[in-house]
Amino acid sequence: MECNRIQIQNFRNIESADVGFDSGVNILVGKNAQGKTNLLEAIGFAALGKSFRTSHEEDLIRFGEEYASISVDFSDSVRRQNITVRMMKGRRRQIEHNKNKVSKISDVVGEFRTVLFCPEHLSLIKDGPAERRNFLDVAISQLYPVYLRSLQRYHQILKQRNTLIKSAQEDRRSFDQTIEFWSEQLAKEAAVIARYRARYVLCAQEHVADCFSEMMGRSEAPTLRYHGSSGQEIESYEDLSFTEKTYRELLTTRYDREIGAGSTLWGIHKDDIDIEINQKSARLFASQGQQRSLALAMKLAEGEVCASVCGEKPVFLLDDVFSELDASRRAYLFGRMEDRQVIITTCDPELLTGGHIITVENGAYRSEAK
C-alpha cells in the first residue's frame, strides 16, 4: 500500500499544500513547529477518520478559517484510490471515496491502511490499559470494518447504560424497567469485539516475540494474552454465545455495585492485554529498555498482521521516533522499513541516510532533488 499524494487546505498550520511521496522512504525534515507532525496527522486522518492528537475536529481547522480539506491519493497492487474529507465549523464533515459521497467514516476505514508510530507509543507497555485497548481498536478497525461498527455501537450503548446507572438513585423505576435491555445489547456487542481482539492478540504474539528477540539478541520470548473483564479462558472467546452469556450474567446480576460505582463495571472497555516476559508482568518487572523494545515490537507486529490479513503492507508513519531510540534500535527499525513505504518526520536528518527528503518550513513542503 502506498500514499501517492496529499492535497491539503487550511489544516492546522498548512494553508495549502500538494505533496507527492516516493514508494520507499520519505523523510520530512524541519525545525520544531513547522508542520511535520501536522502532515502525518492529515494522512492519518484520511485513513482513520480521526486524529491521533485530538478528538476536537475543529482544532484541525486552521486558526481563523471556516473549513479544511484533505485529499489523499493512495494505491495498492490492484488500484489507485482517493479519500477526500472536508470539515466545516459547526457542520458535519463530508467524506468522498473515489468521488462518491459516503455517509459514515466507517465505510472507508480499512481502504487506506497505515501504522502510526510516535514517541508516546514507546510507553505502550507501562501505560494504562486504555492505551493498549486503543492500540487494538485502531489496528483491528483497519482490518475489519464490522469491528469498527460494532465498537461504535458498543460505545453508544455503554453511554446509555452509564446514564441510566447514574440516574438510578433518583429514578429506580426507569432503571429497573430498562437496564436489562441495555445489558443484553452491551453483552452482544462485547462478545463480538472480544473475539476479534483475542484473535488479534494471538496472531500478533508470534510477530512480537520474533521482533523482540531480534532486538534483544536473547531468547526471552514475551507472551501476549487478551485479558477480558469477563474472566474467561482465552480460547473460550471463540464461542460467541458463551462470551455473550458470561458478560450478560455479570451485567445483570450486580446492579448495586454498578450503581455504587456510577458506571458499567464489566465489558470490553475494561479489558487489557497481559504482556509477560519469563512469566512475569512486563509492565511491573521489565526494564525500561525491554519495555521500549516490546512496544516497538508491537507496532512492527501491527504492520505484519495487517500485511498477512490484507496481503498488502501498510504505510508506516513514524513521527519523530528515531531521536527517541538508541543506535541499535534505530538501525533495527530502519532495517525493518525496507520494501515498504514509510513517511518519517525528524528535526535531525543526520540520524537517517537516503530516502526522499521533503523540507518543511512554516506549513510549506518542498521536495529536494535526489
What CA–CA distance (Å, rounded) separates 57 from 95? 14
Q: Which of residues 58-97 bind ligand ATP (CB under 6 A)?
A: 59, 61-63
Q: Is 264 in the site for Mg ion (CB under 5 A)?
A: no
Compare residues 37 and 243 and give the one whose CB is closer to ligand ATP: 37
Site string for Mg ion, 2-41 (x = CB under 5 A): ----------------------------------xx----
Task: Give least dist CB 320 to Mg ion, A.
Answer: 5
Span of 29-37, 228-236, 259-267, 324-332 interacting with ligand ATP by CB under 6 A:
29-37
Binding test (CB under 6 A) with ligand ATP, winner from 3, 26, 29, 30: 30
Q: Is 347 in the site for ligand ATP (CB under 6 A)?
A: yes
Q: Name residue, grid cell 508482568.
A: 281
Q: Is 320 in the site for ligand ATP (CB under 6 A)?
A: yes
Task: Give least dist CB 12 to Mg ion, A.
Answer: 11
Q: Is 33 in the site for ligand ATP (CB under 6 A)?
A: yes
Q: Is 38 in the site for ligand ATP (CB under 6 A)?
A: yes
Is 36 in contact with 365 (CB distance < 8 Å)? no
Compare residues 202 and 347 and give the one whose CB is closer to Mg ion: 347
Binding test (CB under 6 A) with ligand ATP, winner from 4, 5, 7, 13: 13
Compare residues 30 and 228 and give the one whose CB is closer to Mg ion: 30
Is 126 in contact with 283 (CB distance < 8 Å)? yes
Produce one character per residue of 251-278: b if its CB has 16 or more CB atoms within 10 Å, e if not. Answer: beeebeebbeeeebbbbbbbbbbebbbe
What does the CA dihedral 263, 266, 268, 272 come to, rounded to 10 degrees? Answer: 100
List beta partners, residue 114: 315
What CA–CA distance (Å, rounded) separates 169 from 149? 32
Compare residues 119 and 289 and give the one whose CB is closer to ligand ATP: 119
Q: Is 222 in the site for ligand ATP (CB under 6 A)?
A: no
Q: Is 37 in the site for ligand ATP (CB under 6 A)?
A: yes
Binding test (CB under 6 A) with ligand ATP, winner from 35, 44, 110, 303: 35
269 binds, among ligand ATP, Mg ion, none (CB under 5 to 8 A by kind): none
Is 308 in contact with 300 (CB distance < 8 Å)? no
Compare residues 221 and 347 and give the one whose CB is closer to ligand ATP: 347
What CA–CA distance (Å, rounded) separates 280 from 282? 6
Q: Which of residues 229-258 bind ligand ATP (CB under 6 A)?
A: none
Task: Give least dist CB 119 to ligand ATP, A.
Answer: 9
Q: Which residues bind ligand ATP (CB under 6 A)?
A: 12-13, 30, 32-38, 59, 61-63, 320, 345, 347
